[in-house]
A and B are shown apart, each in its own frame.
Chain A
């Protein structure tokens, strides 16, 4: 079992969450436009001493001691991006070129401490995102183990900068020590129920980075449409997308999303949900879905993936081989939710198969049979997998490093208890279904959720809980 929050840090995290936060100064000098950090760092101390920042003089640089340098494109990119966030339009500042203040903050030095900064790598569930930020004249210092922590620190630094009444950028003397409480902080987008143009996905990744979200759970295909352009099976999007040219994600679109996300320390976990939620798959791959029957004749409609045919598994093997190559993250989400048994029940061949296998009339056994084989197929591609909670609930045999996503609101705490009790890493999304709209300041109810509010047997089998906000489902 992978427990990324070591006991000590978990204890720290829990205690911090119980109000051991220091930074009393924060309350005193908090002005309307001044220091508002989001999310709130673990440890934060600020004083009233202010430094001015000149867009002409100020620079973000690699510290001499840093293991990352100018060839680290991820950081170079980030330096430019954060510079723009802080100073906006450079043309505005041309007039102030001549103004130089003694109290200037001259530079932010970024110091990556590990031998391998991971500049050209991808973030993972085990990534250390901690950082330390010290803002004091004339140089501020941002220290992090790797580039991912540095990105988090840069975001925080940019939020410390504020404009005074003269339009001059200021930043106060600050010391911050920060790390995330949970390692998986994700957002799910659904690009099947409606096609989301690339720009929108990228804009959302930007907003995620500003909030230190680090996982983009891409629920890319579903019943209604199949916009993912597969090179192994081009018919999937040709016949399954809302439109084969205007409503698809080409391989280069997908690459763009992955790289754009990587540049912001965001993992991209694709979800190819089966055996349910697959209507659109059947358009391109005949024989994939189970034909439903009306009495003794096929009714013309189709149900979940057909689990009794070898061809289904051959298809999945080839398909997931491609997926594992296209998406670099260590995990793939395999879905497994809301499988409707009615179609299977109506099909006589499925019925025969059930008999042969000795499943009786328990179709959840058939579902598990399918999932089991699918998990084995995906495991063979060397990927870890994430599944919706039904897969766990139905007693499927899962690999040790499986991540189970809890989405059903009813009996959520009990589910968390069961999943972690069985030793699995879990992700909580049930209380964060932002697609359910309500009136008023509903952000408050999302804010108040406490993921660890369930009885855990003992500290020893520490639950490793992450959170995913599903937006929209």
Chain B
């Protein structure tokens, strides 16, 4: 049943035109589109046995650089998938005569053992010519981006021989913060699902993993300071937790791909599961004069709360090396606070009257001060800014509410705060037609503001909330649609506004993802040379 009707006709005709106009010597696309890319029809053959990565003589990073050594190994298997499977066939090399090919990587500054941060320079230059490719970057993270682009330039002909074309790339990201949020509280995500997702992120040059690790339904984070949080708050105290070593594994797996891990410990709302292991943390709700038995947000009126939060945040600082921490602060329901007489007394004492937004701001500020004292930068959801428009300290605002998100961005940047855009990238909300173009045509800077203001937009984030998502459907729901956002955040907007033009390149990239073991769903009718086999 072709319910797609005229849309499919249009796209089919357009697509066939595009296909016809691509020259026979197939030139591969790179996703996301580099800032500057020139390719010619000159192609060179590659032989896996005569291919190597090396460090340039002038490179500050040399053999022993953990990140790049691992990357060379990883990208070799990605570039030559057949080779590592052991299927070697001498027939490949009848013509043309294979020659050695060396990829020389030169990094300007040392620093292989650190972590990427908000100021990391991810730019790189890649020059592919006969028998060699030269990749230059300022940091190792830039080289990782360059290696990814390089891997997308290699293609196979119908006989399985490897080729790549003469190419010049000058590239750097438009936005420094290109994130992806996973929610491991609504559903537990097994470790390998998270690691696989990090792999897919690296293929699209995403560089921040926003780990929304705990929330109302469950608390899977195993804290060393407060073990009862997960003992009592996780779906299951052994099978549905992230141990300290699990967390370290995620952080290192991410680091190897140039991905920052920003944890979110969302409070004072979204904390039901915290109360199981930490009694007295949450506000008891009242029915008249007596406690009703249910609990609300974190109790901001008692000292014990702040002592607890301080100790928890101290642990978070040591466990998570990134300089950013997400403190949440969204969707706080005031009903429970209102019902509690002690809270009302506190409101009076503090002179907040009946304005509970002031109580939330009071709480959030205390927490943000703690974070600042630990030398971390806070990210909060826009609710915090909306209640407290004249901030006393600097924090980063994440805009998530649907509607006029550009209006919100204007307000936030006008107040001098940095902003991350998530609102149009809520991938957990499926659109009727599964359309990826909707994420592609987002224009993050299309609001009225000065250049200074626009500089405060540090980037954006894809959100995959977990109400209806677990390991059974995480990957297909995220990919390849998230790739649309990846290009919007990395590439030049002028060159990438046309979704129809981008379609064939994204379609090809999706087939690449399948080849690399990422279960990316189809964009539209069609096929890939190598399909996902099922199971």
Q: Which A residues fall within an 8 A CB radius of B?
A: 193-197, 199-200, 203, 223-225, 242-243, 246-247, 277, 337-338, 407, 436-440, 470, 473
Contact = CB atoms under 8 A, between A and B. Distances in A.
Given A247-B527, A338-B1, A440-B468, A197 B432 contact: no
Contacts of A197: 531-534
B3 A473 contact: yes
B149 to A, nearest CB: 28
Lowest 3 CB-CB distances: which A-B pairs, in order? A200-B534, A242-B527, A473-B1
Contacts of B522: 194
Given A247-B527, A437-B432, 20 more contacts: A193-B525, A194-B525, A194-B527, A195-B527, A195-B531, A199-B534, A200-B534, A203-B535, A223-B2, A243-B529, A246-B530, A246-B531, A337-B1, A338-B1, A437-B430, A437-B434, A438-B432, A439-B468, A440-B467, A440-B468
Contacts of A200: 533-535
Given A194-B522, A277-B2, A436-B432, A203 B534 contact: yes
B288 interface: no
9 contacts: A195-B527, A197-B532, A200-B534, A224-B525, A242-B527, A247-B531, A438-B432, A439-B468, A473-B3
A439 B429 contact: yes
Interface of B: 1-3, 429-430, 432, 434, 467-468, 522, 525-527, 529-535
Q: Which of A203, A277, A438, A439 has the most CB of B within 10 A?
A: A439
Most buried by A among B430, B527, B533: B527
A150 B308 CA distance: 60
Interface of B is mostly: loop
Nearest to A470: B1
Contacts of A225: 527
A338 B2 contact: yes
A224 B4 CA distance: 13
Contacts of A437: 430, 432, 434
A251 B221 CA distance: 52
Contact of B533 (A199, A247, A438): A199
Nearest to B428: A439
Listed residue (B430, B434, B526, B534) with the most chain A CB atoms within 10 angstroms of its CB: B534
Nearest to A198: B534
A188 to B, nearest CB: 9
Contacts of B434: 437
B2 A199 contact: no
A224 B535 contact: no
Contacts of B532: 197
A87 B221 CA distance: 33
A337 B1 CA distance: 8
A196 B526 CA distance: 11
Nearest to A200: B534
Nearest to B9: A340
Contacts of B526: 194, 224, 242
A194 B510 CA distance: 14
Contacts of B1: 337-338, 407, 470, 473
Q: From A194, A196, A242, A436, name the one whose CB has the most chain B CB atoms within 10 angstroms.
A: A194
Nearest to A196: B534
Contacts of B429: 439
A73 B429 CA distance: 47
A224 B9 CA distance: 12
A195 to B, nearest CB: 6
Given A337-B1, A338-B1, A473-B1, A246 B529 contact: yes
A402 to B, nearest CB: 19
Contacts of B530: 246
A28 to B, nearest CB: 25
A436 B434 CA distance: 9
A440 B465 CA distance: 12
A195 B434 CA distance: 19
A99 to B, nearest CB: 25
Contacts of A438: 430, 432
B527 A243 contact: yes
B297 to A, nearest CB: 25
Contacts of B531: 195, 197, 246-247
B87 to A, nearest CB: 16
Nearest to A437: B430
A199 B454 CA distance: 51
A243 B158 CA distance: 12
A88 B111 CA distance: 51
A149 B501 CA distance: 55
A199 B527 CA distance: 17
A225 B2 CA distance: 13
A338 B3 CA distance: 9
Contacts of B529: 243, 246
A338 B527 CA distance: 24
A193 B527 CA distance: 8
